[in-house]
Amino acid sequence: MKFPKVHSLEEIANLLNCEFIGDKNFEVFGMNEIHVVEPGDIVFVDHPKYYDKALQSAATIVLINKKVDCPEGKALLISDDPFRDFNTLTRHFKPFQATNVSISISLTVGEGTVIQPNCFIGNNVTIGKNCIIHSNVSIYDHTVIGDNVIIHAGTILGADAFYYKKRPDGFDQLLSGGRVVIEDNVGIGALCTIDKGVTGDTTIGAGTKLDNQVHVGHDTVIGKKCLIASQTGIAGCVIIEDEVTIWGQVGTTSGITIGAKAVIMGQTGVTKSVEGGKSYFGTPIEESREKLKQLANIKKIPEILNKLK
């Protein structure tokens, strides 16, 4: 997430009321999670296990809960609670904007697009040409939709990321300031839910088709011309490359990659990254031919036991 203008390190430190290490005029362009950071970004870290990863990442400003040696060419923001202060930045630079109308006047919509009754469309949404948005679709702020997109009834684009920190008195949510981006020629079935990124984009690539009741988690990137069948749940920060087929009731863990042209058979649990161009099945996931051989061998166990008697 990039800020509307460049800020100095001192300005950000004053906003957070925290100490800083580095040149007070060090330029700050935005903020992002660790997997999408770029030079000029702030990244936060609040556990020693991940200090090195954050300090060595592409981010040049690290919001951290301990004074450590500052890597050359970078700056530190010292906070007693980086999670809280990352939320402070999101509230400041991407505040929630209430609306009292069903379709915001800031909507940009292309020629030939049809929006059916009872839809909600939030602030600063862009919808391309020749789209059909069926009834009772909710499209949250800052969503971008390309041309020739069909979205069926009851689908929600842009809900918050499922991202929480456990506190003594409950769970503290990491606020979402990212977007959902739907590219051209995408089809989205009824009652799908696509969460926006925490700071970046959740993206559905051109030509991809989602069946009914598919969930896509925050910051996930789905490639071009994928097919994803009903009741599939895709966790946050997943990369699904081009032309992947995922059949019904598949679930994934977060932060994995599914390679191009892979086929994931129904009811598979994708517990790790998998190569493209192969078929997979089972939980934990394995190549489908191997898994089916294992299941066939299991059926032979009673016969083998009887022979051993």
- Please identify every residue annotated as catalytic: 218
Q: Side by side, which strands form the sheet with 75-78?
A: 2-8, 27-31, 41-45, 61-64, 75-78, 19-21
Which tokens sit at 203? 């993206």
Q: Say how far apart CA 301 and CA 178 lie, in whole Å.
A: 52
The alpha-carbon radius of gyration of the chain (Å, integer) is: 23
Query: Residue 107, by phi and psi: left (phi above 0), alpha (psi -120 to 50) or beta?
Result: beta
Q: Say how far apart CA 292 and CA 227 lie, in whole Å.
A: 23
